[in-house]
């Protein structure tokens, strides 16, 4: 009888996991920029190019599962993520609590409403159709001197800007002038 209850509980958890996964997929499908996790091997390159210093502020536009936020916090930065997918926000918040990482904050908010004025470093992951919009948004709203790190498969991520440096599909830009 106990074995039957354990099997029933297992089946219920399995069904809940399937429903949750399906819901996650459906929510993500309707977003302008669907979730694409930064490959673990690219995280080190991104963090190196960003040249993050302790007490700087890092903003991740579309922070996903928070892996760049946590990597930035390990460098001593205050890391703020903007993510609209409620499951990814919850995941990052739970991970932050488990790791007791107080420098990581994730906001359930559209990245297009992010306050970039405090950012020393801004992370962007985008696709072709959104890159011009990202370029306009970031360069109009970021403070002078902010470093922008773009992770993309595109060969020319920002259509009208030239990167300072690029490595392995990661591009470094700087807001050096008034847009």
* Tens-digit pLDDT profile for residues 37-90: 788 889 999 999 999 999 999 999 999 999 999 999 999 999 999 999 888 999
CA distances 122 to 13, 41, 114, 151, Å, are 38, 19, 11, 11
Residue 113 lies inside a defined structural domain of this protein = yes
Q: Which residues contact 65 (CB under 8 A, 6 or more apart)?
A: 35, 37, 88, 91, 92, 95
Question: Per the structure, how many domains does the chain have?
Answer: 2
9 plus 83 within the same structural domain: no
Residue 35 lies inside a defined structural domain of this protein = no
63 plus 14 within the same structural domain: no
* Domain span holding position 165: 40-174
108 plus 65 within the same structural domain: yes
Residue 3 lies inside a defined structural domain of this protein = yes
pTM for the predicted model, two decimal places: 0.80
Residue 179 lies inside a defined structural domain of this protein = no
């Amino acid at each position: 009888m106990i074995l039957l209850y354990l099997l029933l509980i297992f089946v219920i958890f399995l069904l809940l996991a399937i429903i949750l996964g399906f819901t996650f997929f459906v929510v993500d499908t309707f977003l302008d920029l669907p979730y694409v996790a930064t490959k673990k091997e690219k995280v080190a390159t991104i963090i190196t190019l960003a040249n993050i210093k302790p007490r700087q502020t890092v903003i991740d536009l579309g922070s996903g599962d928070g892996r760049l936020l946590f990597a930035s916090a390990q460098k001593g930065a205050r890391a703020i993520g903007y993510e609209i997918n409620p499951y990814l926000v919850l995941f990052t918040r739970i991970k932050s609590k488990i790791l007791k990482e107080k420098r990581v904050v994730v906001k359930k908010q559209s990245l297009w409403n992010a306050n970039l004025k405090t950012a020393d470093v801004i992370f962007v992951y985008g696709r072709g159709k959104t890159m011009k919009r990202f370029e306009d948004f970031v360069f109009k709203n970021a403070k002078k001197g902010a470093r922008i790190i773009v992770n993309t498969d595109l060969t020319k991520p920002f259509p009208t800007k030239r990167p300072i440096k690029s490595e392995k599909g990661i591009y470094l830009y700087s807001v050096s002038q008034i847009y």
